[in-house]
Amino acid sequence: MPDLLYGVLHSLLSCFIPAANLLVIVVVYKLMKKKQGTNYIFILNLAFADLLVGIMCIAEALDDMLDGNFDRNLSICLLRICMSLTPCIGSILTLLLISLDRYLAVKLPLHYPALLNKKPIVLSLTILWAISFLFGHMPLIFPSLQKSNYTGYCGLLYAAKSEYLYVICFGIFIPVLLILICLHVSVGRIAYSQHKRILRSCLQAEPLRAHLRHFKALRTALIVIICFTLSWGPYYMVGIVQAICESCNLAEPLKDILFLLGELNSLINPIIYALYSKDIRSHLAKLMKCKKKGQVNPLAVIHFNIQASGGLNNQEGKGSGSLGDQASDVTFPSCSGNCKIVFSVS
């Protein structure tokens, strides 16, 4: 990829990723004040992880503009790689928690509120970030995973040994992906059985709405997981090929194109939730001061003067409305005989 194009794309990502995820964080935080739901906490955590990716994008873009002199040092290069991988690991583990949360909500609806209260959620998020930090910073924690013949080219397989990539791929990425697939297959079976039961019997509207809400949330999580796999999957697959085939020269696409594709996922996630989550979409519209069609302020105040020809005194009234109103709440004074109404707009 040409350096200019790479720099432009990296700069765009460094602008849009933090902005988009900050918007999601603000919206979800406001939603959490109004509604109780563990799903919002996990979505907030996912947006926070993506925000960290965006912050690292800014650091990488600045490094690129400064000719990458910082990468000459192995420790700084490893720190940059580890700080980029840690939120990535946090993202995929958060997707696991989101899917597990939806699975429990559908599988055990009666026990779900007791299973996922405040204490288990805080504990699960603490463990999540501890695992993310440990796996993300393994080359710095264990010097044996560092390359001894570092040449100054800051890439994952050029600063760390291939064993580290195997740990990330086969210890985190693939196992979590398999668990996610199993969870969604299981929920799909539950959805099918409940759909058949609904067709056979008449269920109350409220439980039916609750089940539909859980399935919609799970559908959104599934879309996020697919996008995550398509974004980061090529990076890990090419990385494994490069680790196995040392003579293959895949350093440039691995570092540039595929890593940018992985970082792009942190911009896709907030877009998905903005499109598929009704609550987030509506609150985002309010935050951006977007009003629905027809919800406009009054454009004018109409003064009217009713003149009756039967010797009655003139009567005045006032009403307000907008050009889009179908009717206005104006009560006309009563008059007998011929009436003349004079309107003035202010």
Of 287, 315, 337, the last residue of a domain is: 287
Question: pLDDT tens for residues 76-108?
Answer: 889 888 998 899 899 889 989 988 888 888 888
Question: pLDDT tens for residues 283-296?
Answer: 777 777 654 444 44
In a domain, 14, yes or no: yes
Residue 314 pLDDT exceeds 60? no
177 and 304 belong to one structural domain = no
Nearest to 181 by CA among 133, 221, 232, 140: 221
In a domain, 305, yes or no: yes
Of 287, 322, 337, the last residue of a domain is: 287
Radius of gyration of the chain (CA): 29
Domain of residue 163 covers 3-287
In a domain, 294, yes or no: no
Question: pLDDT tens for residues 29-41?
Answer: 888 887 766 678 8
- Whole-number mean pLDDT of the chain? 75
pLDDT of residue 298: 44
3-state helix, strand, coil in the chain (%, to 5): 70, 5, 20
pLDDT of residue 142: 93
In a domain, 314, yes or no: yes
Question: pLDDT tens for residues 241-271?
Answer: 877 877 777 666 666 788 888 888 889 988 8
259 and 130 belong to one structural domain = yes
In a domain, 173, yes or no: yes
214 and 109 belong to one structural domain = yes
Distance CA 268, CA 282 (A): 18
Weakest-pLDDT range from 22-26, 73-77, 151-155, 194-198? 194-198
Locate 115 and state its tokens. Answer: 């299973």
In a domain, 218, yes or no: yes
228 and 340 belong to one structural domain = no
pLDDT of residue 320: 42
* Cα distance between the two ends of the chain: 62
Query: Using an 8 Å Cβ cutoff, are 345 and 302 in contact?
Result: yes
pLDDT of residue 260: 84
323 and 195 belong to one structural domain = no
212 and 142 belong to one structural domain = yes
242 and 312 belong to one structural domain = no
Distance CA 55, CA 133 (A): 16
Residue 318 pLDDT exceeds 60? no
186 and 304 belong to one structural domain = no
In a domain, 292, yes or no: no
20 and 110 belong to one structural domain = yes
Residue that is written with structure tokens 């980061």 in the block: 232
Share above pLDDT 70 across residues of the chain, in percent, rounded to a whole number: 70
Q: Is the pTM of this model over 0.85?
A: no
**pLDDT higher for 319 or 89?**
89
* Helix, strand or coil, per DSSP, at residue 157: helix
225 and 319 belong to one structural domain = no
- Going 37 to 41 to 47 to 50, the CA torsion angle's sign is negative
276 and 325 belong to one structural domain = no
Q: Give Cα 323 to chain centroid, integer Å.
A: 38
The band of 332, judged by pLDDT with boundaries at 50, 70 and 90, is very low
pLDDT of residue 263: 85
Look at the chain and report how many structural domains it folds into.
2
Q: Which amino acid is at 181?
A: I
In a domain, 31, yes or no: yes
89 and 223 belong to one structural domain = yes
CATH number at residue 11: 1.20.1070.10
DSSP state of 173: I
